Chain A
Amino acid sequence: MEHMGIEPGRIQFSWVSSAESTKFVDVVNEVTATVKKLGPSNNFVKTKVKVA
């Protein structure tokens, strides 16, 4: 995806066990923080075709 022009950081992978609740919270916070910093995505947005 990054090869294609999606900003690094917008896609993240993580492995969280069901027992690792704190890690889950940390990961979610971290991901939202990074993505918020990147701002709204301009790429991969499908706009409706304008008809006359």
Chain B
Amino acid sequence: MVAYTDKIKEISRRLLKECQVEMVIGFRKGTLPMMNEPCFVKNPEDVDQLVWDSNCGINLANYLTNRGEKIGIIAKGCDSRNIVTHIIENKIKREQLVIIGVPCDGMIDRRRIIRMYSEEILEVEETGGKIIVKGADFEDTLKKADVLQQNCAVCIHRNPVIHDELVADPVAEQKDVDRYADIREIEAMDPEQKWDYFENLLSACIRCYACRNACPLCYCPTCFVDESRPQWVGKSQNPMDVRTFHFLRAFHCAGRCTDCGACERACPVGINMRVFTKKLEKDSFEQFGWEAGLSLDERPPLDTYKPGDPDDFIK
């Protein structure tokens, strides 16, 4: 990880010094353990703030929307796929970007680790696949593989799909992971169980829209939930309004979602809203053989027509 950080700093410093980019988007240490925050470096002197570890789960593609300047961006596998999606959707031009690819071996699930201990965690370090958690009067070592974010545990695109620079050799991609076990479990339920499952899932939602704000796909100038003329969806905590928000947001991500997990990570009450987007991701994969953000040359399934598109739902 230290090697990654050093390499990121070295590349960023070079890019800024040579004026190849006006700004580098990366991560710096947050004020709390396991909370890195996005950071925008504009001067070569400030490059030393940049870090890389297993808490860089935020999707940085989110900060590229409609930018005009030349940007260096640090991208792990999922970020790079969202950058591709941004380019395809004309939200940024490829020429504007210098993509600093980071082969990623997963981000850790901060919430799960916090839940594991009754005391407050004051410091978290990591070395070679181990996470060392320190509190006021305890210290514990965890295996990183055991505390990965759910989406990272089933990720099959850990290496950046496009990059101009690469900070390390590509990591081995995970093979034979069952990506959709949780979705199949829901699919097997009968309608009533499904309804209750989601009722339960969303009961804690406070409609803060953190999931939307963290999502690189959610870049509409005015989101449908913020519109008031016409008002598409009620703004209350009513379970129907909450549900409408979540499933409409998921539909907007159909065929675009890369399952980066930014939404779930951002949620202050820990709702796994990925079960919505992931269902659509599964459908796009199974029905259109599509995985979002893998290539700049292919149009997404929802804006092209192919004679072989599935149509058995139309009577």
Considering the complex, which residues of chain A in the window 1-39 have a beta carbon less than 8 Å from any beta carbon of chain B?
1-8, 12-15, 27, 30
- A8 B314 Cβ-Cβ under 8 A: no
Complex CA–CA separation, A2 to B276 (angstroms): 11
- A46 B240 Cβ-Cβ under 8 A: yes
Complex CA–CA separation, A22 to B170 (angstroms): 60
- Interface residue? B18 (CB, 8 A): no
Q: Give the shortest distance, in Å, between B138 (CB) and chain A (any CB).
A: 42
- B240 A5 Cβ-Cβ under 8 A: no
- A44 B240 Cβ-Cβ under 8 A: yes
Question: C-beta contact mask, B191-214 vs A, less than 8 Å → 1, else 0?
Answer: 111111110000000000000000
Q: Give the shortest distance, in Å, between B245 (CB) and chain A (any CB).
A: 13
Nearest opposing residue in chain B for A3, CB measure: B279
- B240 A45 Cβ-Cβ under 8 A: yes
User: A-B pairs with CB below 8 Å: how many?
Assistant: 45
Report how many residues on chain B are interfacial, defined by Cβ distance under 8 Å: 22
- B238 A49 Cβ-Cβ under 8 A: yes
- Interface residue? B117 (CB, 8 A): no
Q: Select A15's contact among B186, B234, B241, B314, beta carbons within 8 Å.
A: B314
Q: Give the shortest distance, in Å, between A41 (CB) and chain B (any CB).
A: 11
Complex CA–CA separation, A7 to B198 (angstroms): 14
- B241 A5 Cβ-Cβ under 8 A: no
Considering the complex, which residues of chain B in the window 197-247 have a beta carbon less than 8 Å from any beta carbon of chain A?
197-198, 234, 236, 238, 240-241, 243, 247
Considering the complex, which residues of chain B in the window 17-33 have a beta carbon less than 8 Å from any beta carbon of chain A?
none
Interface of B is mostly: helix
- B314 A13 Cβ-Cβ under 8 A: yes
- B314 A3 Cβ-Cβ under 8 A: no
- Interface residue? B313 (CB, 8 A): yes
Q: Give the shortest distance, in Å, between B266 (CB) and chain A (any CB).
A: 22
Q: Which of A3, A43, A44 has most chain B Cβ within 10 Å? A: A3
Q: Give the shortest distance, in Å, between B49 (CB) and chain A (any CB).
A: 43
Interface of A is mostly: loop
Q: Select A5's contact among B192, B238, B313, beta carbons within 8 Å.
A: B192
B194: which A residues are within 8 A, CB to CB?
2-5
Complex CA–CA separation, A46 to B195 (angstroms): 15
- B315 A5 Cβ-Cβ under 8 A: no
Q: Select B315's contact among A1, A3, A13, beta carbons within 8 Å.
A: A13
Considering the complex, which residues of chain B in the window 233-273 have a beta carbon less than 8 Å from any beta carbon of chain A?
234, 236, 238, 240-241, 243, 247
- A14 B196 Cβ-Cβ under 8 A: no
- Interface residue? B123 (CB, 8 A): no
- Interface residue? B187 (CB, 8 A): yes
Q: Which of B193, B198, B315 has most chain A Cβ within 10 Å? A: B315
B243: which A residues are within 8 A, CB to CB?
4, 44
- B241 A46 Cβ-Cβ under 8 A: yes
A7: which B residues are within 8 A, CB to CB?
191
- A43 B186 Cβ-Cβ under 8 A: no
Using A13-B314, A14-B315 as known contacts, say yes or no to A2 and B241 having CB atoms under 8 A apart. no
Knowing that A5-B196, A12-B315, A46-B234 touch, tell me 7 more A-B residue pairs with CB under 8 angstroms: A3-B186, A4-B195, A4-B243, A4-B247, A6-B195, A7-B191, A13-B314
Residues of B within 8 A of A (CB): 186-187, 191-198, 234, 236, 238, 240-241, 243, 247, 276, 279, 313-315
Top 4 closest pairs, chain A to chain B, by CB: A5-B195, A5-B194, A46-B240, A7-B191
